[in-house]
Structure 1
């Protein structure tokens, strides 16, 4: 297949190229255009009109403004990039020869917090903040303009990780590596993750199988607690986990005091660190005709954690 990938130089894009390059002809679309192994040519967004002369079979839209956990980015940037670029490339897709369009949204477009046991595609979206709001607006534009005789997939992955990723897992790894105790061991929260290997497997399946147009949540089969995550990190590093199970009520009281005194540990941060966020992947597995993802949550995390050792 001839495939156009936007945001091809990012973390997910780079991994997708490695997974797809042996079986497909790949083109890139990005804000920079250096040569990249596996990519026939990368074009700039300003050169999009040139690509009308290329016959594509599929377009994978990854380009976007990532979630800023420090909340320092101006809200409009999210809408300019996450909504604006999606509208631009989707309009291009509608006029192109491509028969498949894969848009990478986020579970944050559906919900900032999970109500009930797990997040499914049936949830009524209630995003919080410009990141999730800009993604759901992009989803809305796609759904309002769905073409006949073409297949369109909106993917909502939860936290994606893998070698080369410098997200929150890397921050936690550095804390654990220094031997700093985890004081919230009394909170047995469950969270879903997405291994980059499972994500690439899903994309390959969408490209090569007949899968109905729709919204699909993406995640590993198993949800893990922060305690299990820390234990896995220590297992890889050959260290003993330092998990303190301080009384929940005591920690909640300290967080409340932190809110009043503007300290690092406040009520909102405690909620984020200890809440459950479990995402169902049953719909995508059923669509692909599989019973389980190829990589378990722990296998994927071990691969990611091992890669941190070689990162600067």
Structure 2
């Protein structure tokens, strides 16, 4: 049995993973730790794995929160990894993000991240994650394995971020721009299975989990609408205006730009972690 400590109590990813591994009650024991309290006095020594999900997301990042982002996303991560190593934990798993590579492409352009792409964050959220990675990787040795996950947009029932915004939009609007783009995404249960395999295989290194399918923003909206038996008409008439405005408003590129992982780096050939396809994942996410 693997004993796993999740640092970051009540986090979306942490609670989802805990629920996922209940399918194997004899294989995993999960405990959670609230890092907002006196977590430093907690004994890590009984655990095989520390899964570190405590952190601040980028959803509402404000300039006056920059110091807090570095304290939580970088400093707390490094402290937790140092403590895990000192107390004999064998594996430390850190949830980083695709955001360490910067922003989506401009409209009409492709952006594919390969094994040779150098991380260049464009904001302090991404930089705090990258600095956390740089702080924990040197701790790795033959007795202490470090796993860094750089997932793209994670979605699923109860998720936060951009997906719920698209879901609300899909239920309200009758038309949507028909713009060509490609996005890597990751359904929460596919992520949970990936993490389980990381633990079972006692992996180390940097990993790039994603769904099998690249998706277009229009397809996400259309699939969501379909689950509510609603039809959205895709139109191109506003595309020239959207392209013009994308040069002035960053959020348009964030919505309609492209950002994908090369399939070569997101595949782990040992085992299959994409257990839910895209269409099914949308239905499960929007299930009432």
Alignment of 1:135-146 (within 5 A): 135-146=129-140
CA distance in 2, matches of 1:254, 1:162: 30
1:276 aligns with 2:277: no
Cα deviation, residue 20, structure 1: 2.2
Shift of the 284–243 alpha-carbon distance from structure 1 to 2, 3 Å rule, reads closer
Q: Once the two structures are superposed, what CA deviation does each residue of 1:272-304 show, in whole Å capped at 9, x if it has no partner?
A: 221111123544533x51366222222222211
Match of 1:129 in 2: 123
Cα deviation, residue 96, structure 1: 1.8
Match of 1:2 in 2: 3
Shift of the 29–282 alpha-carbon distance from structure 1 to 2, 3 Å rule, reads farther
Cα deviation, residue 108, structure 1: 0.5
Q: Do the aligned partners of 1:220 and 1:296 also contact (CA within 8 Å) in 2? A: yes
SS of structure 2 residue aligned to 1:25: strand
Cα deviation, residue 176, structure 1: 1.7
Match of 2:92 in 1: 101
Shift of the 55–165 alpha-carbon distance from structure 1 to 2, 3 Å rule, reads same
Alignment of 1:168-183 (within 5 A): 168-182=162-176
Query: Alpha carbon RMSD of aligned pairs, Å?
Result: 2.2
Match of 1:285 in 2: 267
Alignment of 1:207-226 (within 5 A): 207-211=199-203, 213-226=204-217
Gapped runs of 5+ residues in structure 1? 32-43, 260-265
Runs (4+) of structure 1 exceeding 6 A deviation are: none
CA distance in 1, matches of 2:143, 2:245: 57
Cα deviation, residue 146, structure 1: 2.0
One of 16, 25, 28 as aligned partner of 1:24? 28
Count of aligned positions: 281
Shift of the 224–47 alpha-carbon distance from structure 1 to 2, 3 Å rule, reads closer
Q: Do the aligned partners of 2:174 and 2:231 also contact (CA within 8 Å) in 1? A: no
SS of structure 1 residue aligned to 2:112: coil
Q: Larger relative CO (CA 8 A, sep 6+): 1 or 2?
A: 2
Match of 1:55 in 2: 46
Shift of the 196–178 alpha-carbon distance from structure 1 to 2, 3 Å rule, reads same
Alignment of 1:56-135 (within 5 A): 56-69=47-60, 71=62, 74-113=65-104, 118-135=112-129
Q: Do the aligned partners of 1:157 and 1:219 also contact (CA within 8 Å) in 2? A: yes
One of 207, 216, 230 as aligned partner of 1:239? 230
Q: TM-score, normalised by structure 2?
A: 0.89
Alignment of 1:176-195 (within 5 A): 176-182=170-176, 184-185=177-178, 187-195=179-187
Q: Do the aligned partners of 2:149 and 2:206 also contact (CA within 8 Å) in 1? A: yes
Gapped runs of 5+ residues in structure 2? none
Alignment of 1:149-168 (within 5 A): 149-168=143-162
